[in-house]
Amino acid sequence: MIKKVILILLAIHLSIIQTQAVCPVGMAMPLKAIEEQVREKFDGAKEYIYLGYTPTGFVLSIKDELMFDECGCLTDTGKILLNALAQIMKRSGRRWMILVHSKIGETQVDRISRTSLRAGAITNYLTDQEKCLINQLFPIGFGSIMPTKNATEGRKALGNRIDFLVEDYNLRID
């Protein structure tokens, strides 16, 4: 009987206390607001970073060598960039795709493996260190299969890169 009373009191207590959420947003941030915040944070590294739009949303592309060392570990600079980006991600209320591209590797399997590991390392850092919600992140390692013929010259110049894409779900054909 005492156990039931304690459980009921505990259930009542837990139902009335305010919880803390990692991503306490009521609605998704507009893409223009995300773009402004990203431009403000990353304006100084224009030769390593490209900001723009794809047919489906806003993209931040970062040169791979800025994020990872030769061994595939995140660099201190990469961690600083992810720290800044994580703050925007958590406030955005949107899903972020992490798309990693590379032409390094002898076979396509090697390239997909390399890029998948890097996408996973970014996701792990963002969830473990920055407390981003796992359901906000969608990592994919593409290897070299993602065509760049429709990419702008700025993105092509980056070569091996990591794209952080926020989709708008409104097909942009302009």
Q: How far apart are the first and last CA of the chain?
A: 68
Q: Please report, in tens digits, the pLDDT of each residue of the chain (174 residues total).
A: 777 767 676 666 666 654 444 455 667 889 999 999 999 988 777 778 889 888 888 999 999 899 999 888 999 999 999 999 999 999 998 999 999 988 888 888 898 889 999 999 999 999 999 998 888 999 988 887 765 544 555 555 567 889 999 988 655 455
Question: Which amino acid would we find at residue 107?
Answer: T
pLDDT (tens digit per residue) in 28-75: 889 999 999 999 988 777 778 889 888 888 999 999 899 999 888 999
The residue ranges of DSSP E strands in the chain, in sequence order, are: 49-54, 57-63, 96-101, 137-143, 161-167
Question: Does this model's pTM top 0.95?
Answer: no
Question: Looking up tokens 């997909």, which residue turns up?
Answer: 112
